[in-house]
Structure 1
Amino acid sequence: MEGIVETLTDRAIAAIAHWDLPEQVPELIKYRENAVFKVRLAWGEPAALRLHRPAYHSGAALASELAFMASLRDRGLAVPQPIPARNGDLLVAFGEGPFHADLICWVDGEPLGETGTPLVSEGRDLPGIFRAVGREMALLHGAADAFQQPVGFERPAWDTAGLLGEAPFWGRFWDCPVLPAEDRAYLTALRTTLSTRLAAAAPGLDYGLIHADIVRENIFVRKGAVAFIDFDDCGFGFRLFDLATTLLRNRREPDYPLFRSALLEGYAGVRPQAQTAFAHLPLFLLLRALTYIGWAAERPDLPDNADRLRRYVADVRALAAEMTESL
């Protein structure tokens, strides 16, 4: 890892030369799909430099993400603001990759929580926070509907094909060689069942640009207000997908029913037309859980990959049973 950090830091130093920043050594704070560095702007404020993983998104898709974020920010949404490079572009290409980088304003606050760790409730109004998340999500969807997509706008889609087709964006969840044959057969049959159900429900569902990854780590809380970060996976999808993403990793919280009600109440307060679609949330919780299997299946080098996949399959089986019971 030490060698990787050194290589990424050298790459970050090359990237920041495209902005008018003071001389500095960027501080690596996150390395997953992207490498995220903390840097200082000329006036001393922090900012986040993102080095994008090669071949994950095209240059056009990355520029589209930044255009979408800038539009949301202009409409008053609490999202990171892209900072233009010296040449005025929001995205820079550099090096022999070429590699892509962007610079965005720092977002104040603390993450709502960390996946796998119980939420901290002391000193926090968690139902109030989830209500604020629902409201902000609804405002985001409204602003997305008003967004004028520039020529060449390119983002992935979590439509029926993107979720259950032959090549889902986050991987073929039913076709993972690490899983036992029994699990692969189960997931193959489940895919067929869900394809039928989603096809029946889809015509009546709200669809458009979504964040697609509003998980605890991407929800920043400050004095009861919330902000969304990390639009790396934003794209076209069912709006229920965003709600299901937020709910999925909170299902084991003792107060989950309260959090779920608060989230939906906050959302419906802005977009009341969505309430009839909430009946399909069990389906979308299951669809979102399947994406984690596909994601892990395409990353066999993860050190805990086998254990991770076992947990994900167990979650899917439980959610499938719950969905059947709710029908």
Structure 2
Amino acid sequence: MAVFTTVSQDEIASWLLDYDLGEVRALRGIPSGIENSNFFLTMERDGHVREYVLTIFERLTFGQLPYYLHLMAHLAGHGIRVPAPIPARDGEILRALKGKPATIVTRLPGASQLSPNAQQCAEVGDMLARMHLAGVDYARQQPNLRSLAWWQQTEPEITPFLDADQHALLRNEIAHQTAFFGSADYAALDGGPCHCDLFRDNVLFEAGDGGNFTLGGFFDFYFAGNDKWLFDLAVTVNDWCIDLPTGALDDARARALLAAYHAVRPLTDNEHAHWQDMLRAGALRFWVSRLWDFFLPREADMLQPHDPTHFERILRRRVDAAALPWI
């Protein structure tokens, strides 16, 4: 969520005349992330101050965005704690700002927990399963745009920056996933709308009494798409349940997250059989995207590209794993 497109407070005040949110009190850029321009927006109306998030989309188009925004509205309407898009006076939740698509959503309470414990992982697993089930009747369809076809398309763009060993790992893993995605077992896996990017910094927790934390919600749905639920679970475990320096899975955290998920949406024998394949797929997806962002960056204020070697380590560990945590 770097700032690629700058907006002044006067510009946003003029744009917000089409909303019924009151007066602008503050607008400040959010420095983390690398896809969209995001800002915290403070508004005052009738003496009440409320916080929102303004997003200007840098890559996604007006045609693509309704899937994400209406998914958030759908999930919020089903009791899942996610940002709810705010409509303008004409009812539209997506409008142009400085020639680009933009939207305003509610700001969730809390802060990210970057060193999660098993209890916090369990809360994430529980809500992820509830989110998957809540999305079953969501009518709009859009595939995960960062899935196999994108990995295959991106491979020749990033291979000039890799050494021979890295290139071999990339080539072999894409071949493995191509075969897996084409299998009958893969086709039989359950799926639906998925977050596809549920990292620690995309979840908020509220601090409570006695040092306890309550899950505040999931946000940043702009990589979401229809995919296999096991893939979404693997992406989540690959971030929430690992030792960051090494990429090794933490057994207690992984089992806590998986057990909490399973208690809401029971996992199947077929999902168990392909758990390693999906953990590898989740690692490959983010290794490819981080290589792409690192070596082929865009200009942006406050841009902070992630180190691609982190997911290279995770992928190597998942390929070599003899046993993996499960329920």
Matched, 1:83 2:86: yes
Mapping 1:242-257, distance limit 5 Å:
242-249=232-239, 250-252=241-243, 256-257=250-251
Mapping 1:9-48, distance limit 5 Å:
9=8, 12-13=12-13, 15-20=15-20, 21-30=22-31, 32-41=34-43, 42=45, 43-48=48-53
Superimposed CA distance per residue, residues 164-210 of structure 1 (whole angstroms, 9 cap, x where no aligned partner): 33x33994388421111332133212221232234333122112110
Mapping 1:263-274, distance limit 5 Å:
263-274=257-268
**Partner residue in 1 for 2:224:** 234
In 1, the alpha carbon distance for the partners of 2:56 and 2:192 equals: 27
* CA pair 301-186 structure 1, distance change in 2 beyond 3 A: closer
Task: Determine which of 128, 133, 146 is the counterpart of 2:137.
Answer: 146
Mapping 1:136-285, distance limit 5 Å:
136-149=127-140, 155-157=142-144, 163-165=147-149, 167-168=150-151, 171-172=154-155, 175-200=158-183, 201-222=185-206, 223=208, 224-226=213-215, 227-249=217-239, 250-252=241-243, 256-274=250-268, 276-285=270-279
Q: CA deviation at 1:276?
A: 4.8
In 1, the alpha carbon distance for the partners of 2:97 and 2:69 equals: 17
CA contact (8 A) 1:132 1:263 kept: yes
In 2, the alpha carbon distance for the partners of 1:156 and 1:314 equals: 27
* CA pair 77-39 structure 1, distance change in 2 beyond 3 A: same
* CA pair 204-135 structure 1, distance change in 2 beyond 3 A: same
In 1, the alpha carbon distance for the partners of 2:156 and 2:136 equals: 30
What are structure 1's unaligned runs of at least 5 residues? Answer: 114-118, 121-125
In 2, the alpha carbon distance for the partners of 1:25 and 1:64 equals: 29
Q: Which moved more, 1:128-137 or 1:185-194?
A: 185-194
For normalisation by structure 1, the TM-score amounts to: 0.81
CA contact (8 A) 1:36 1:50 kept: yes
In 1, the alpha carbon distance for the partners of 2:266 and 2:31 equals: 37
Superimposed CA distance per residue, residues 60-111 of structure 1 (whole angstroms, 9 cap, x where no aligned partner): 221221111111111111111111112210111133xx21111111100111
In 1, the alpha carbon distance for the partners of 2:153 and 2:243 equals: 24
In 2, the alpha carbon distance for the partners of 1:108 and 1:246 equals: 21
Superimposed CA distance per residue, residues 215-269 of structure 1 (whole angstroms, 9 cap, x where no aligned partner): 1001111244321111111111111121111111232169821111111111111
For normalisation by structure 2, the TM-score amounts to: 0.81
Q: What secondary structure does 2:205 align onto? A: strand
Q: Say what the alpha-carbon RMSD is for the aligned residues.
A: 2.8
In 2, the alpha carbon distance for the partners of 1:170 and 1:131 equals: 36
* CA pair 174-283 structure 1, distance change in 2 beyond 3 A: farther
Q: CA deviation at 1:288?
A: 1.3
CA contact (8 A) 2:4 2:36 kept: no
Q: How many residues align?
A: 299
2:169 maps to a residue whose letter is Y
Q: CA deviation at 1:6?
A: 8.3
Task: Determine which of 69, 73, 76 is the counterpart of 1:66.
Answer: 69
% identity of equivalent residues: 23
**Partner residue in 2 for 1:123:** none
In 1, the alpha carbon distance for the partners of 2:92 and 2:152 equals: 28
Q: What secondary structure does 1:112 align onto? A: coil
In 1, the alpha carbon distance for the partners of 2:134 and 2:231 equals: 17
